[in-house]
Every structure is written in structure tokens, then in C-alpha cells.
Amino acid sequence: MFTEEKKNSQIFQDSNHLLPKTELEVSNIIKEAYKKKFPIDIHGANTKKFIGYNVQAAKSLDLSSLNGIIEYLPEELYIKVKPGTLLEDVETALEKNNQELSFEPTDFGYIKNGKSNKGTVGGCVACNFAGSRRFKSGSVRDFVLGFRGVNGKGDIIKSGGTVVKNVTGYDLSKLVSGSFGTLVALTEITLKISAKKPSQNTIVIYENDPKVISELFQKVLSSSNEISGAVFIPDEPQNKKFDLNKSRAFKFNDLDQEGSFFALRVEGNKNSIKERIKDISNELDLKKYKTSNLDPHQSPLFWKSVNSLQLFSETKNNLLRAVVPPANCEKVMNNIKNKFKYFIDWSGSLFWIEVPGKDDDKLKEVKKMILQNNGYLTIIKKSEEFDFSEKIFTIDDTKLMISKKIKESFDPKGIFNPGKMYKDF
């Protein structure tokens, strides 16, 4: 026992960049960090490192070597992987069996350097950022069946399993998803997977009135036609502080590049799509609008552009992610229209907003407005001029206090990614 402890201690002391290859090695490293109260920066492929505050840590715990598919049973609709497994590799494996991750992982590669890079499964779960199907299918945390990981004491913990079932007690997967590596060092993740729809079409409605757009979102939410995506892409503001990439991000034969537009997606077999589009035309009274249709070849590319944030490709400005109740969509639109480059996803609930780097007053104005509309906000990408006195994760005081208590229970000495989400812990 003494020899093993001495070996662990030596490994910990010899390097600042720790690259464990097994769960046990992760546990031993964290036990040493806990004993010495050394803060550690937990990460995988580093594709989302720019989100949140910079972690001030003496050691870096790199989980990228814990990669690979452990078990994939298509007929049981689950896949078990190590945290460093690339999302691209998982999606490739699922594609062979005509399956997918229904939450549509957000691809942050384009806003970083203009190239696709979805990162790792561990990073995806840690951030809990889902794409356009979120309002219909759920978020990342809703697809985590279980996980294994190591807490802040070095204890190996397990939650959930490989089937969907109701259990008594805490669903730790819900807490760990969206914690940005501040609660647990993940070592194994089991995800629920879904059958891929055989086809899809996208209806485009050319409209820019906030009241009309908000009403369309509400009708989509109450529709029985299984609409799986609804976004609004406004005109670019006439402002030189913004890069005008709209035409590059949404360059399709059947999409008019001029003016704002609302788009909704219908998925399924071709006959079902055809019948549902007829119903949707009546539900939304589409004869009142100028419309077009993106066919099964153009539609997937359109939603890929949406979910990879290509509208903000390589932005140098602050990029904000705000979630508000859909009922407040119109109020938020009226506050930001013609001021900022933005678009709306999740059928009126998710706003992506770009704020120029030097406009601190504008940044504060947007944050205040989102809170007043019962929303929460995260500054996803910071400009070089970003004022670090501003909070990156904006939530109310009650939720902040609860988050602090949860952090203390998982990581009592505060060694995991300290200050990543909130400066105080």
C-alpha cells in the first residue's frame, strides 16, 4: 500500500500535465490533489476551453487518453463510451446503423476557427449544450443514462445504468451535465440513442415582425405535427462592427438571401412529411406569407449551419447564449432588434447574441434585460476587450447558492476547475 501511495505521489509531482489512461489512475491522481489541496484543470480535447473563466490551476488533468467505444448495442438503443471519445467518431458509428444523437450536439469549432470540431463526449455532457431539437427531444442530460466518474476526494462513483427506468433517489446525471467539470471527472458515459428519421424538409417563411415571429413560435410549440426545429434568422444590423456572414452560412438554392426568415423542420418518411406539411400550412395560415421549401438535400445542411453557429464564424466579439421562457420571446426581440447580430432557436427560447467587444454598456444592458425576462445567460466566447468584472454565467442568487452547496458536496476542497463558472468557487 505504501509503495502504491508513493508511486502515485511521484507521478503527481513529476508533471503538471497529467495524462491518465485508466479510471484508477484518474482516481489516484485526484486523491493526491485532494491530499495536497492542489487545484486541477480538468479537460478533454479543449474545444470548449474558451467558455467560462480561465482556470487557475497548478495541474492539468487531461482525459483525452480515456477514449473509445466500450459497448454499443444498436438494438438496445444505447452506447457506452469513455469521456475522451470524439463525438464525430460516435456519430460515424451510429450512422452505420441509421441512428443518431437526437439532442444534436452544438459544434463550437466554427466560432473558434471557422472549422467543424464537436470535441469529445465528455465535453458535450459537461457543457450540456444541445441543438435545435432541444424543445422537442430534450437536452444532453436527458440522454445520459448513466456515468462513472471520480469525485473531488478521489472516490470512484457510479450513477444510472444502460436502460431507461424510474428510480428513487437523486439522478446525478442531471447534476453533472452542465457542470463544466466542476463536480466530477467523468470516466465513462452511457448515452441513449435514437433511430434516424429517413427524410426531412424545411419550410421557410419570410417575415420580420417580432409579434408575428413570436406567434409562429407559439403555434409550433402547440402543434401536433411533430415539428423538430424552429428558428428565426433576422436581417444583419447595418453595423460595421459585425462580420456579414449570413449569406455564407445560409447559401441555398431555395432560400432567399434578402430579408429575415423563420424556418421550421419536419422529419419522418416522405408521405408523412407531405401530409404534415399540409396540416402545418393550415395551422400557420401560410398562404399569408411568402414561403419556400428546402428539400431533403438542402434541409440537413441548413440545420447543420444553425447548430454549428456558422452565422458567427470566427467572431472576435462577445457571443452570448441566453435562454428565456418562450412567452417572453417578443419582448427580448424588441429589445435587441436592429442593435445586435443574433438568431433565435428552440422555438423562441434560445437567443444567440453577438455584442461588440468594447461595448461594455451594451453587454450589461443585454444581461440586465435577459434577467428581467426570467432568463439566464452565458457568455460563450469572450472578446479580447472583455471586462472580467462581468459575470460569465448569469443566474439569480438562489440558484447560485444551490450551485455552491452542490459543488461542496461533490468537491469539498474545491480542487476541480476552480472559478470556471463562478469566481467565488
Question: Tens digit of pLDDT for each residue in 239-277?
Answer: 545 555 666 678 888 898 678 999 999 999 999 999 999
How many distinct structural domains can be found in the chain?
A: 2
Please write the tens of the pLDDT for every residue from 48-72. Answer: 888 999 888 889 999 999 999 999 9
Residue with cell 469529445: 120
pLDDT value for 59:
92
Of 166, 196, 226, which marks where a domain is finished?
196
413 part of a folded domain: no
pLDDT value for 13:
66
CA angle 288, 264, 47 (to 5 degrees): 145
388 part of a folded domain: no
Answer yes or no: is pLDDT of 424 > 90.
no
The fraction of the chain above a pLDDT of 90, given in percent, is: 77
407 part of a folded domain: no
Shared domain for 362 and 217, answered yes or no, is yes
- Across the range 217-221, mean pLDDT stands at 98
Answer yes or no: is pLDDT of 340 > 90.
yes
CATH number at residue 285: 3.40.462.10
Please write the tens of the pLDDT for every residue from 15-25. Answer: 889 999 999 99
pLDDT value for 45:
86
Shared domain for 266 and 181, answered yes or no, is no
CATH number at residue 115: 3.30.465.10
Full-model pTM: 0.92
Mean pLDDT of the residues in the chain:
91
- Of 93, 92, 99, 89, the C-alpha closest to 122 is 89
Please write the tens of the pLDDT for every residue from 175-212. Answer: 999 999 999 999 999 999 999 999 999 999 999 999 99
pLDDT value for 219:
97
**Residue 222 burial by CB count (10 A; 0-12/13-18/19+): exposed, middle or buried?**
exposed
**Other C-beta atoms lying within 10 Å of the C-beta of residue 100:** 17
Shared domain for 59 and 73, answered yes or no, is yes
Shared domain for 181 and 214, answered yes or no, is no
Decide if 61 contacts 42 (C-beta within 8 A). yes
Query: Bridge-partner residues for 351, per DSSP?
Result: 322, 344
Task: Give the Cα separation of 125 and 186 in Å (integer).
Answer: 9
Decide if 422 contacts 403 (C-beta within 8 A). yes
pLDDT value for 399:
87
pLDDT value for 165:
43
Please write the tens of the pLDDT for every residue from 67-99. Answer: 999 999 999 999 999 999 999 999 999 999 999
Residue with cell 443514462: 145
pLDDT value for 247:
64
Print the domain residue range for 325. Answer: 199-381
**Residue 328 burial by CB count (10 A; 0-12/13-18/19+): exposed, middle or buried?**
middle
Q: Which of 141-145, 198-202, 246-250, 326-330 has the lowest mean pLDDT?
A: 246-250
CA distances from 10 to 14, 15, 34, 130, 153 (A): 6, 9, 15, 40, 18
Residue 388 pLDDT grade (very low, low, confident, very high; cuts 50, 70, 90): confident
Of 149, 164, 196, which marks where a domain is finished?
196
pLDDT value for 245:
63
Q: What are phi and psi of 410, to 5 degrees?
A: -85, -35
Shared domain for 357 and 276, answered yes or no, is yes
Shared domain for 220 and 360, answered yes or no, is yes
Of 196, 211, 236, which marks where a domain is finished?
196
Q: Which of 122-126, 139-143, 249-253 has the lowest mean pLDDT?
A: 249-253
126 part of a folded domain: yes
Task: Give the Cα separation of 403 and 400 in Å (integer).
Answer: 5
389 part of a folded domain: no
Shared domain for 367 and 230, answered yes or no, is yes
